[in-house]
Amino acid sequence: MRRSPSRVLSSGTTRYVAGRLGQALLALFGVVTIVFFALRLSGDPARLLVPDGATAADIDRLRDKLGLNASLWDQYLHFLGNALHGDLGYSYVQNRPATDLITERLPYTANLAVAALLLSLLFGVTVGVITALNRGKWQERVLMPIVLAGQAMPAFWTGLLLVLVFSVGLRWLPSTGYDGPLSLLLPSITLASLSAAAIARVTRGAVLEQLPLDYMRTARAKGASGFRLVSRHLARNTAIPVLTVAGLELANLLGGAVVTEVIFAWPGLGQLTIQSVSARDFPVVQATVILASAVYVVINLCTDLLYGVIDPRVSAGGKGEPA
């Protein structure tokens, strides 16, 4: 991480952003190259596509058609050349442009990710603040285990449990698929239960750090009249670590919540990822990786820039040390 001394919205910001994007492009190139070669180390897409009774010649014919009989190096150059023109190739399985496939799936994943993030922020920050202000009291002893339970239960378990209770038992909510906003509830709760713990922990830590500081002591001494002051200062000073973690969670969620999407038959990037990896649908996997990396970079950049907006004392990149 380069620590640019530039301030947000100052002339240096542009240079800072450009530098970050340049580095990101380099990282992206690395990711894509590794994935390209790693994918081709195991498994042959053609074998998965032909019927059981196919002969070796049938498989070879299909490999020719898919361009898999060229040397690895040629395939790589070909891929890079096309990628520069925005062409990430055609899905072997669906015979459609890989970029089309991922852009169709992106809105579903984005909806789910945002809903999950909002829920986990709501829950995580509340629990974090309550437990920090009541350190060692019963509130902490009750709330922390609940949040941790969410983290301790794998999504395939939480998700199905929710479905069994709210869809099969009570018939309140749809079980799988997307039929409107209500469908969003169960999968986003499932996802939020996984990330709420991280957010609660960060919030709690950040609030605890502020409590012994002078302004807090003063504010507390002033009693109720100081409440506004407390909340304002507290909010500003805890926002940065919380935002850092929230940004990371969002980036991860946007990469596709594989297990949750499988359980809820959610047509997002997570399902596409696991399906195209197991089908060795190389172009789609590559496209997914590129998209996920790009999303990660952009979100990181956004959180970095947001630091400056929230707290002008912080220079862009100064606290841009997302763990």
Partner 1 sequence: MGRDRTRKAVAAMAVALATAACGIAPATEGRDASTLVIDTTNYPSTLDPGQQYDTDSYSVYRNIFDPLLRRDPKTNELEPSIATSWSQVDPKTWKFAIRPGVTFSDGTPLTAADAAFSLNRILDKSFGSQQYANFSVVSAASAEGPDLIVRTSVPSPTLLSYLTTLSVVPEAYVKRVGDKEFAAKPIGSGPYVLASATAGSEIVLRANPTWWGPAPQVRGAVFRAVPNVASRVADLQSRKADLVTTLTPDAADQITRDPKLSILSTPTERVAYVAFNAINGGAVNDPRVRHAIAAAINYDALIKNLQRGYAKPINSLLSPLAFGYDTSLPDNRYDPATANRLIDEAGVRGATVVMATSPSFNPQIVQAIQADLAAVGLQVEIRNTDQATYLKKVQAPAHDWGAVRFGRWSCSCLDADGVIYPLFHTGTIWSSYSNPAFDKLVEQARTVTDPAKRVELYNASFRILADDLPGIGLFQDYAIYGANSRLGWTPDAQESFFLTDMKVS
Partner 2 sequence: MMKRLRAAAGVRLPLAILVLYVLVAIFAPLVAPYDPDTTTLAQRLMSPDAHHLMGTDALGRDVLSRTMYGTRVSLLVAVVAVLAAGIFGVALGVIAGWRRGWLGAVIMRLVDVVLSVPFFLLAILVVAVLGPSLVNVVLCLALVRWPRYARIAYSTTLQTRDRGFVRAATATGAPAWWIVLRHVLPEVLPVTIVVGTLELGLMVVYEASLSFLGLGVQPPTASWGSILSDGQQYLGSAWWLATFPGLALFVLVLAVNLLGDAARDRLDPARRTDVRRSRIFKREVVTA
Q: Which DSSP symbol is given to 255? A: T
The single residue among 17, 21, 28, 133 that binds partner 2, judged by CB under 8 A, is 28
Partner from partner 2, partner 1, none contacting 9, C-beta within 5 to 8 A by type: none
Partner from partner 1, partner 2, none contacting 85, C-beta within 5 to 8 A by type: none
151 binds partner 2 (CB under 8 A): yes
Amino acid at 309: V
φ/ψ (deg, to 5) at 190: -55, -50
Q: CA nearest 240: which of 308, 138, 145, 172?
A: 308
160 binds partner 2 (CB under 8 A): yes
Please, are residues 2 and 309 in contact by the beta-carbon 8 Å criterion? no
214-222 helix and 227-254 helix, angle to the nearest 10 degrees: 130
User: Measured between alpha carbons, how far is 257 from 277 in angstroms, rounded to an integer?
Assistant: 15
CA distances in angstroms from 18 to 14, 130, 222, 302, 316, listed in the order given? 6, 40, 47, 13, 13
Residue number with CB closer to partner 1 (53 or 223): 53
The single residue among 264, 290, 293, 300 that binds partner 1, judged by CB under 8 A, is 264
Partner from partner 1, partner 2, none contacting 36, C-beta within 5 to 8 A by type: none
The single residue among 5, 9, 15, 23 that binds partner 2, judged by CB under 8 A, is 23
User: Measured between alpha carbons, how far is 275 from 273 in angstroms, rounded to an integer?
Assistant: 5
Interface with partner 2 by CB under 8 A: which residues?
1, 23-24, 26-28, 30-31, 34-35, 38-39, 41-43, 136, 141, 144-145, 148-149, 151-157, 160-161, 164, 168, 201-202, 205-206, 209, 241, 244-245, 251-252, 254-259, 262, 270, 273-274, 277-278, 285, 288-289, 292-293, 296-297, 321-323
